[in-house]
Chain A
Amino acid sequence: MAKDVKPTRKNLMAIEDRIELSERGHDTLEQKRDGLIMEFMDILDKAQDVRGGMEEDYQTAQKKINMARAMEGDVTVRGAAAALKEHPEITTESNNIMGVVVPQIESSKVKKSLDERGYGVLGTSARIDEAAEAYEDLLESIILAAEVETAMKKMLKEIETTKRRVNALEFKLLPELYNNQEYIEQKLEEQEREEIFRLKKIKDKKEAEEKAEEEAAREAEAEAAETVDAD
């Protein structure tokens, strides 16, 4: 890779700029990653509480409905279940945690009073009411769990991408840029040395020529003197 760049001063400056930018980006992303992980830890604690509560609710609800089934018969329970008029609805709003949009789920009509349920009061017993109530509780905690778990999933995704970006900068882009920078610097230094060497060579050559000329002139002078002497 390092061999792909032209060793010019302009490129060196461009690479230095890129290094500066990448380092700044790297630092920022690293901070974002750490911040996200910290937020995630908070949510994780909450999620574990919510999950525990939900499992508990589920056990109770199951017990209640089994009791209702045993006492009233499966058909009655199913019949009552089919008669429900009101349905729980949920609306989602969004919340922003460090750039991650997490949902905030509002529910309505989960809890119902006896006359809202729709099955006849006379034909059914209190056990079915109890079971229905237990399941309403369970639904509420499920909605809470869904909210928290969606937030967790979204944050995990964001943490993963941020981590990947940080690593790509740290282990791929920045080392490559440093390599290129070093390569160009060395190339430029070498060019400079070559230039100095060339100048020296030229200087030596010039000096040698001058010397030769001087010598020639001196010889010519000497020769002239000799001829004068001879005369």
Chain B
Amino acid sequence: MSQEIAVVGSPDFTTGFRLAGVRKFYNVESEDADELDDAVREVARDEDVGIVVMHDDDVAELSREPRSIVDTSIEPTFVTLGGGAGSGGLREQIKRAIGIDLMDED
């Protein structure tokens, strides 16, 4: 089954990806947190989407429930950009599952 890549974020953020051919995009003004939440919920429901690209700052704006979708969802997978290596909820998850903060060195 072939899937697509989606981008969620401000128009500035999504334009570049559209230039690379990404068709599914959700333009969200960064001031509107509700709209961002809705966009995440919607993209998580979309079965044609395999990977969702978001900016780390936008992920930080999300309320709790969509945020947990971003952190734990496997299909689609959320990839965040701009937060440096080892960002996002993955670090927390590693701490919880293994018991050690493996991403500590950076």
Contacts and interface: CB of A to CB of B under 8 A. Distances in A.
Name the prevailing secondary structure of the A interface residues: helix
B97 interface: yes
A160 B72 CA distance: 14
Interface in B17-59: 17-23, 50-51, 53
A166 interface: no
A87 B21 contact: yes
Interface residues of B, number: 36
B60 to A, nearest CB: 16
Nearest to B89: A153
B4 A52 contact: no
Interface string A134-159: 11101100110110011011101101
B15 to A, nearest CB: 5
Contacts of A131: 16, 19
Contact of B102 (A44, A55, A91, A110): A44
Contacts of B19: 65, 77, 80-81, 84, 128, 131-132, 135
B96 to A, nearest CB: 7
A87 B90 CA distance: 29
Contacts of B85: 48, 51-52, 55
A88 B16 contact: no
A53 to B, nearest CB: 10
B62 interface: no
A142 B51 contact: yes
Interface in A78-126: 78, 80-82, 84, 86-92, 105, 108-110, 112, 117
B90 A89 contact: no
Contact of A146 (B51, B87, B96, B103): B51
A112 B103 CA distance: 36
Interface string A51-88: 11011001001100100000000000110111010111
Interface in B42-96: 50-51, 53, 72, 74, 77, 79, 81-82, 84-87, 90, 93-94, 96
B56 to A, nearest CB: 10
A188 interface: no
A88 B98 contact: no
Contact of B97 (A55, A65, A159): A159
Interface of A: 37, 40-41, 44, 48, 51-52, 54-55, 58, 61-62, 65, 77-78, 80-82, 84, 86-92, 105, 108-110, 112, 117, 128, 131-132, 134-136, 138-139, 142-143, 145-146, 149-150, 152-154, 156-157, 159-160, 163
Interface of B: 1-5, 11, 15-23, 50-51, 53, 72, 74, 77, 79, 81-82, 84-87, 90, 93-94, 96-98, 102-103
Given A62-B16, A149-B90, A156-B93, 16 more contacts: A41-B102, A55-B82, A61-B16, A65-B19, A89-B2, A92-B3, A112-B21, A131-B16, A134-B16, A139-B22, A142-B53, A150-B77, A152-B90, A153-B72, A153-B93, A154-B74
